[in-house]
Amino acid sequence: MLLKIPAVLSKQQVETARKALLEAQWSDGNITAGYQSAKTKNNLQLPGDSQVARELGDVILAALAQNNLFMSAALPNKIFPPLFNCYQGGQSFGTHVDNAIRQVPGTPVKVRTDLSMTIFLSEPDEYEGGELVMEDTFGSQRIKLAAGDMVLYPSTSLHRVTPVTKGRRLASFFWLQSMVSSDEKRSILFDMDMAIQALRNKLDDSPEIVQLTGVYHNLLRQWAQT
């Protein structure tokens, strides 16, 4: 399931993040690339242990914790601390798949990457190119969102970032391990949760809604690993 989540960050938060990012010390993006992706990756990245990355990462994680759409779709167990990248002057990232396991630097914590996330921090009209292109069974999808919006997609999918031929594309990218590793099962739970919430907005709480809510939690109990 690919899901666009609008306004994860407010315009004010985006502005603050951009200001800090433009003053930060950037490195070559290959610091976190695997063997295969290093060959096609050409961008700039903030080192994960930089003060700016940590502070902005915490802002993002706090915003996500309050975001019901994200929590329902992702059912997060462990979230890798957000990283930040910058593409400019023709930089791109060729077709690749994200590494299955990420160790959080400086800790023994390993995160299985079930879902990948990108939060756009530049407005679409500030740069040319820079689309995140996802190959899935329904064909390819080209994603370029407003600053502050996020896309959530299965880490199993092949994806790339097209060359940024004009302007600068700033973004945050990271991964999470879901309590429900199966994309299919997670999608079923998400659809059910959305339907129950919509019903609850239309009708007063009825015994049937209570029962459906019970079914949702019983499925989650069957499928979740914590």
Q: Which is nearer to Ni ion, 98 or 193 (CB)?
A: 98
Contact 48, 32 (CB under 8 A): yes
Contact 14, 31 (CB under 8 A): no
Residue of minimal CB distance from Ni ion? 98
Per CB under 5 A, the segment of 15-23, 92-100, 148-156, 206-214 that binds Ni ion is: 92-100
Task: Indicate whether 98 belongs to the interface with Ni ion (CB under 5 A).
Answer: yes
What is the token pair recorded at 216? 């949702």
Contact predicate 173/99, CB 8 Å: no
Report in angstroms how near the CB of residue 79 gets to Ni ion at its nearest. 16
Q: How far is the CB of 7 from Ni ion (least distance, A)?
A: 23
Q: In this complex, which beta carbon is closest to Ni ion, that of residue 96 or of residue 193? A: 96
Q: Quick one: 13 or 85, whose CB is closer to Ni ion?
A: 85
| Minimum distance, C-beta of residue 8 to Ni ion, in the bound complex (Å) | 18
Q: What is the smallest separation between the CB atom of 93 and Ni ion, expressed in angstroms?
A: 7
Does 131 sit near Ni ion (CB under 5 A)? Answer: no
Contact 225, 181 (CB under 8 A): yes
Q: Cβ–Cβ contacts within 10 Å for residue 142, how many?
A: 9
Q: Which of 71, 82, 73 is nearest to 20 (CA)?
A: 82
Contact between 210 and 203 under an 8 Å Cβ cutoff? The reply is no
Residue number with CB closer to Ni ion (98 or 114): 98
The residues of the shown chain that bind Ni ion, judged by CB under 5 A, are 98
